[in-house]
C-alpha cells in the first residue's frame, strides 16, 4: 500500500515538473520571440544565450547614446538641469553649474543649492500642466565681494517621464544690456533732435505765409514731415519718462473710467466716420477709478487709433469693461475689432519699441466693376504706440495682453488694471 502511495506521489511530482517545464518554456519562447531568435535554428539554451548577447549589445548602444546626449548637453551654450520627482538634481551641464556656482550637484536637492522661488514655481507648473512652460524672472545671488546682484533669466521647462522635469535656462543679461543701450541711445538722439526740429518748424511756418502760391505745396509738405518727426521725438521722450517713473510716484486722482473711454473714442470719431467704423461699449454706466487720467486717455487713444488704422471700411470696434470679481484684484478692459487681426508671427513683439509687423492688407470692391483690389492700410505709424500703451499700463501696476479674437478674428487687446485706493495702494 505504501508503495502504491509512493508511486502516485512520484507520478504527481513528475506531472507538476513537466507542467512547470512546459509553462517556463512557453514563457521563454514568448520572450525570445521579441528578439527575433528563430526557434528552429538552435536549441533553447543556445537561443537564450543569443538573446542575452543581443540584449547586452542593445544595452551598450543605449548607454553610448545616453553618454553622447549628455556630452552634447554638457557642451551646450545654454544652461540645462534635470530634477527627479523629489526635485533632486539628476543632471546639470557645465553652463548650469557655472550659472548657479555648483560644484557637485548630482543627487542633491535643488532647493539646497539654488534659492530661487521662481524656478521652483516653474518646475511645479510643468508637472501640473504636463506641458512645455516658459517664465522670465530676476535671479538674485551674492557676488564673491558680498554684494547682491540680480540676473535676468528665461526658463523653459519640459516634462519628462517618471515626473522628471528638464529646465533650459537662458541668461538674458546681455540681451537686456543691449536693449537698454538701444533705448538710451534713442532717447539721447531724441533730446538732440528736439531743438533743431523746433527751429525748422518755426522757419517752415514763417515761409508758409511768404512763398508764392505755386511753391506753397512744397512748404506744406515740408512742414508736415517736420511735425511728424517732432511727434516721433516727443513719443520717444515720453516713453523714456514713463519707463523711469516708479509706480509709487505716478500722479493719481479720482476719475470715471467709463467717461475716459468715451472721451478717447470721441477724439478719434472723425477718423472712424471717414472709414464708416462704429463703436459699441459694454459695461457699467460709471466706474470710479484712482489713476492718472491723462495717461489712461492716451493709452486708449493709442489703442483706438491702432484699431481704426488697421480696420477696413465698415468694420466694428467693441469695448468691454469687466469689473473685478471677489477673487481678482484687477478689472479687465477689452478692445476688440473686426479687422484682420495681428499676424501670428508678430504677436510676441507688437509691444516692442519700433516694431512694425507685416502690413495687413484689405480688400476693396470697386462699385462700378465689382473688381476686388488689395490695398495697404492707411497710415505708417512709428512703432511706438503700443510700446507707450504697455508702459502706461505697467506704470499703473497692471499688464496688457494681445491676441486675435477667436470669434471675430480681429485684434483683441486685454488691459488688466489693479483696483487702487486713494492712497495709491492696491485694495486687496
39 lies in the same domain as 53: yes
- Read off the pLDDT of each residue in 51-70 and give the average, rounded to a whole number: 82
Is the predicted pLDDT of residue 157 greater than 50, yes or no? Answer: yes
Contact assessment for residue 150 and residue 68, using Cβ atoms and an 8 Å cutoff = no
Contact assessment for residue 322 and residue 334, using Cβ atoms and an 8 Å cutoff = yes
Cα 255 to its chain centre, rounded Å, is 32
Range of the domain at 27: 9-71
| CATH number of the domain where residue 130 is located | 3.30.450.20
3-state secondary structure of 73: helix
| Best mean pLDDT range from 151-160, 223-232, 374-383, 419-428 | 151-160
236 lies in the same domain as 288: no
- Read off the pLDDT of each residue in 195-200 and give the average, rounded to a whole number: 88
Which of 243, 262, 282 is the C-terminal boundary of a domain?
Answer: 243
The CA distance from 119 to 141, in Å, is 14
Is the predicted pLDDT of residue 43 greater than 80, yes or no? Answer: no
165 lies in the same domain as 312: no
Q: Is residue 427 part of a domain?
A: no
Q: Is residue 428 part of a domain?
A: no
What is the percentage of the chain residues whose pLDDT exceeds 70? 85
pLDDT at 187: 79
The helix or strand, by DSSP H or E, that contains position 219, with its residue range, turns out to be helix 213-243
More confident residue, 335 or 145: 335
3-state SS string over 108-153? Answer: CEHHHHCCCHHHHHHHHHHHHHCCCEEEEEEEEEECCCCCEEEEEE
355's torsion region: left (phi>0), alpha (psi -120 to 50) or beta? beta
Least confident stretch, 50-64, 101-115, 264-278, 370-384? 370-384
209 lies in the same domain as 305: no
- What's 77's DSSP letter? S
CA Rg, the chain, in Å? 35
Contact assessment for residue 230 and residue 218, using Cβ atoms and an 8 Å cutoff = no
Contact assessment for residue 402 and residue 389, using Cβ atoms and an 8 Å cutoff = no
Q: How many CB atoms lie within 10 A of CB 142?
A: 10
pLDDT at 324: 63
pLDDT at 424: 38
256 lies in the same domain as 214: no
Which of 209, 243, 277 is the C-terminal boundary of a domain?
Answer: 243
- Read off the pLDDT of each residue in 99-126 and give the average, rounded to a whole number: 88
| Domains held by the chain: number | 4
123 lies in the same domain as 231: no
Taking each helix axis from N to C terminus, what angle separates 257-267 and 293-310, rounded to the nearest 10 degrees?
A: 40
| Best mean pLDDT range from 13-27, 213-227, 365-379 | 213-227
Q: Is residue 424 part of a domain?
A: no
366 lies in the same domain as 258: yes
Cα–Cα nearest to 175, from 160, 196, 153, 157: 153
pLDDT at 381: 56
More confident residue, 259 or 106: 259
**For the segment 310-358, what is each residue's pLDDT rounded down to a tens digit?**
898 999 999 999 876 555 688 999 999 998 888 888 888 888 877 766 5
pLDDT at 27: 72
Least confident stretch, 9-18, 62-71, 161-170, 306-315? 9-18
Q: How many residues does the chain have?
A: 428
156 lies in the same domain as 109: yes
* Residue 231: C-alpha distances to residues 5, 197, 300, 380, 388 (Å): 112, 10, 18, 13, 13
**For the segment 407-417, what is each residue's pLDDT rounded down to a tens digit?**
998 999 999 99
Strand partners, 316: 278
pLDDT at 12: 81
What is the percentage of the chain residues whose pLDDT exceeds 90? 29
154 lies in the same domain as 186: no
Q: Is the pTM of this model over 0.85?
A: no
Strand partners, 139: 151
Is the predicted pLDDT of residue 428 greater than 50, yes or no? Answer: no
More confident residue, 369 or 409: 409
155 lies in the same domain as 220: no
97 lies in the same domain as 164: yes
pLDDT at 308: 92
pLDDT category at 420 given cuts 50, 70, 90 is low
The sign of the CA dihedral 251, 257, 263, 269 is: positive
Q: Is residue 423 part of a domain?
A: no
Contact assessment for residue 130 and residue 139, using Cβ atoms and an 8 Å cutoff = no
354 by Cβ neighbours in 10 Å (0-12 / 13-18 / 19+) ranks as exposed
* Residue 45: C-alpha distances to residues 24, 39, 111, 185 (Å): 13, 11, 51, 79
Is the predicted pLDDT of residue 366 greater than 80, yes or no? Answer: no
pLDDT category at 378 given cuts 50, 70, 90 is very low
The CA distance from 219 to 124, in Å, is 64
The CA distance from 262 to 270, in Å, is 14
pLDDT at 273: 92
pLDDT at 377: 39
Q: Is residue 124 part of a domain?
A: yes
**For the segment 221-262, what is each residue's pLDDT rounded down to a tens digit?**
898 889 888 888 887 888 777 777 777 778 888 999 999 999
290-308: string of b/e by CB count within 10 Å (b at 16+)? bbbbebbbbbbbbbbbbbb
Q: Is residue 336 part of a domain?
A: yes
Is the predicted pLDDT of residue 373 greater than 50, yes or no? Answer: no
236 lies in the same domain as 254: no
Is the predicted pLDDT of residue 380 greater than 70, yes or no? Answer: no
pLDDT at 256: 94
**For the segment 284-299, what is each residue's pLDDT rounded down to a tens digit?**
999 999 999 999 999 9
Amino acid at each position: 500500500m505504501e508503495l502504491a502511495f509512493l508511486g502516485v506521489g512520484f507520478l504527481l511530482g513528475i506531472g507538476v515538473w513537466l507542467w512547470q517545464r512546459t509553462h517556463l518554456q512557453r514563457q521563454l519562447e514568448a520572450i525570445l520571440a521579441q528578439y527575433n531568435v528563430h526557434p528552429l535554428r538552435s536549441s533553447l539554451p543556445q537561443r537564450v544565450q543569443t538573446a542575452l548577447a543581443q540584449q547586452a549589445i542593445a544595452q551598450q548602444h543605449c548607454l553610448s547614446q545616453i553618454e553622447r546626449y549628455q556630452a552634447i548637453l554638457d557642451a551646450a551654450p545654454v544652461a540645462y538641469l534635470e530634477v527627479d520627482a523629489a526635485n533632486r538634481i539628476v543632471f546639470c551641464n557645465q553652463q548650469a553649474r557655472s550659472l548657479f556656482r555648483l560644484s557637485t550637484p548630482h543627487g542633491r536637492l535643488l532647493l539646497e543649492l539654488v534659492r530661487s522661488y521662481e524656478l521652483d514655481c516653474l518646475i511645479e507648473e510643468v508637472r501640473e500642466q504636463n506641458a512645455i512652460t516658459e517664465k522670465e524672472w530676476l535671479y538674485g545671488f551674492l557676488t564673491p565681494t558680498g554684494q547682491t546682484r540680480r540676473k535676468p533669466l528665461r526658463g523653459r521647462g519640459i516634462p519628462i517621464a517618471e515626473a522628471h522635469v528638464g529646465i533650459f535656462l537662458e541668461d538674458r543679461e546681455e540681451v537686456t544690456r543691449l536693449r537698454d543701450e538701444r533705448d538710451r541711445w534713442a532717447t539721447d538722439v531724441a533730446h538732440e533732435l528736439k531743438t533743431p526740429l523746433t527751429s525748422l518748424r518755426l522757419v517752415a511756418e514763417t515761409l508758409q505765409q511768404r512763398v508764392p502760391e505755386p511753391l506753397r505745396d512744397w512748404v506744406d509738405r515740408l512742414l508736415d514731415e517736420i511735425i511728424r518727426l517732432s511727434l516721433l521725438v516727443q513719443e520717444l521722450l515720453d516713453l523714456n519718462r514713463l519707463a523711469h517713473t516708479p509706480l509709487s510716484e505716478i500722479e493719481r486722482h479720482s476719475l470715471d473710467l467709463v467717461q475716459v473711454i468715451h472721451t478717447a473714442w470721441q477724439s478719434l470719431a472723425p477718423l472712424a466716420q471717414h472709414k464708416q467704423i462704429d463703436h459699441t461699449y459694454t459695461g457699467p454706466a460709471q466706474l470710479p477709478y484712482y489713476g492718472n487720467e491723462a495717461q489712461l486717455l492716451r493709452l486708449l487713444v493709442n489703442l483706438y487709433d491702432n484699431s481704426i488704422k488697421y480696420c477696413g471700411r465698415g468694420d466694428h470696434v467693441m469695448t468691454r469693461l469687466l469689473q473685478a470679481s471677489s477673487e481678482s484684484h484687477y478689472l479687465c478692459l477689452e478692445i476688440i475689432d473686426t479687422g484682420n487681426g495681428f499676424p501670428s508671427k508678430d504677436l510676441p513683439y507688437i509691444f516692442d519699441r519700433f516694431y512694425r509687423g507685416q502690413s495687413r492688407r484689405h480688400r476693396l470692391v470697386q462699385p462700378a466693376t465689382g473688381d476686388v483690389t488689395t490695398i495697404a492700410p492707411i497710415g505708417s505709424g512709428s512703432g511706438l504706440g503700443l510700446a507707450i500703451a504697455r508702459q502706461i499700463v505697467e506704470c499703473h501696476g497692471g499688464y496688457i495682453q494681445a491676441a486675435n479674437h477667436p470669434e471675430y478674428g480681429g485684434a483683441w487687446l486685454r488691459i488688466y488694471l489693479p483696483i487702487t485706493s486713494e492712497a495709491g495702494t492696491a485694495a486687496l
